[in-house]
């Protein structure tokens, strides 16, 4: 956490300017990756006659990485990558009934009810009276809008940004759009690669709240020595961290 010497005064002086907090959505406010993992298990069962589970996972991950530039993040890209992988590992022999089941699995994912993570509602409600809150998330537009509506949290955010990717330029533009410099902002999320590293690069604080399940393509090295990097066991510790900073 913060140093307890003369550097703390400087850090506190900077932190007093904090006006805006950005929150990631999936696996920061509500569970998401577990739904992908369950669908991936079904995928492995459906393709068990063609390939071993471990090898199938590797092939699917390769397809997802390759297709990000085409389909972006979210369920639709995931389903298309599953279909492509099924065709590849079966050498074009996968039957239409399995393709149909993969499409059905994707549609189930798009209607799956959300489950808020611990402390989320209390923290969001409390901080909405003290800071400008912005939801910054990736994924399918309609699906993210659906999940936000189900969460009951929409009214506590001053802005909702559903973006194709999260980069330092994107964070700079978003915080500027809402009238604040990135240096006055904090980004809270479970992805080091998308939520933390680019936000810190833009000049913001980055608060990493790890989730038990994190997609491989969202993992990265933590900037442990950076003065604006912090990590919390869960979102319930955010208010104390903000009190310490401010």
- 3-state secondary structure string, 172-214? HHHHHHCCCCHHHEEEEECCHHHHHHHHHHHCCEEEECCCCCC
Partnered with residue 206 across adjacent β-strands are 187, 229
Q: Are 22 and 187 in contact (CB under 8 A)?
A: yes
Number of CB atoms found within 10 A of residue 29's CB: 27
Cα–Cα separations (whole angstroms), residue 126 to 17, 30, 47, 71, 241: 19, 18, 47, 36, 14
Instruction: Identify the structural domains of the chain with CATH numbers, from first to last.
Output: 6-31+115-245 (3.40.50.1000), 33-109 (1.10.150.240)
Instruction: Give me the pLDDT at residue 230, please.
Output: 97
Partnered with residue 208 across adjacent β-strands are 189, 231
37 is written with which tokens?
């993992």
Q: How does pLDDT run along the chain (246 residues), one tens digit per residue? A: 333 333 444 444 444 489 999 999 999 999 999 999 999 999 999 999 998 888 999 999 999 999 998 998 999 999 999 999 999 999 999 999 999 999 999 999 999 999 999 999 999 999 999 999 999 999 889 999 999 999 999 999 999 999 999 999 999 999 999 988 999 999 999 999 999 999 999 999 999 999 988 878 788 898 999 999 999 999 999 999 999 887
């Amino acid at each position: 956490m913060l140093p307890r010497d003369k550097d703390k005064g400087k850090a506190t002086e900077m932190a007093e300017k904090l006006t805006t907090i950005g929150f990631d959505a999936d696996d920061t406010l509500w569970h998401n990756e577990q739904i992908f993992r369950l669908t991936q298990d079904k995928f492995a069962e459906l393709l068990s006659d063609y390939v071993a589970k471990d090898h199938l996972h590797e092939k699917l991950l390769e397809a997802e990485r390759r297709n990000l530039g085409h389909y972006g993040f979210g369920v639709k890209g995931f389903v298309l990558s599953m279909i492509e992988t099924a065709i590849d590992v079966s050498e074009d022999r996968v039957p239409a009934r399995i393709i149909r089941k993969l499409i059905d699995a994707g549609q189930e994912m798009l209607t799956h009810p959300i489950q808020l993570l611990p402390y989320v509602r209390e923290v969001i409600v409390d901080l909405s009276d003290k800071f400008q809150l912005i939801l910054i998330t990736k994924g399918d537009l309609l699906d993210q809008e659906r999940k936000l509506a189900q969460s009951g949290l929409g009214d506590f955010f001053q802005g909702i940004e559903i973006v194709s990717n999260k980069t330092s330029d994107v964070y700079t533009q978003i915080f500027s759009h809402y009238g604040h410099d990135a240096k006055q902002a904090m980004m809270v999320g479970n992805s080091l690669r998308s939520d933390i590293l680019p936000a810190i690069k833009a000049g913001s604080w980055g608060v990493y709240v790890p989730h038990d399940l994190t997609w491989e393509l969202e993992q990265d090295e933590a900037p442990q020595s950076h003065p604006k990097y912090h990590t919390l066991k869960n979102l319930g510790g955010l208010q104390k961290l903000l009190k310490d900073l401010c």
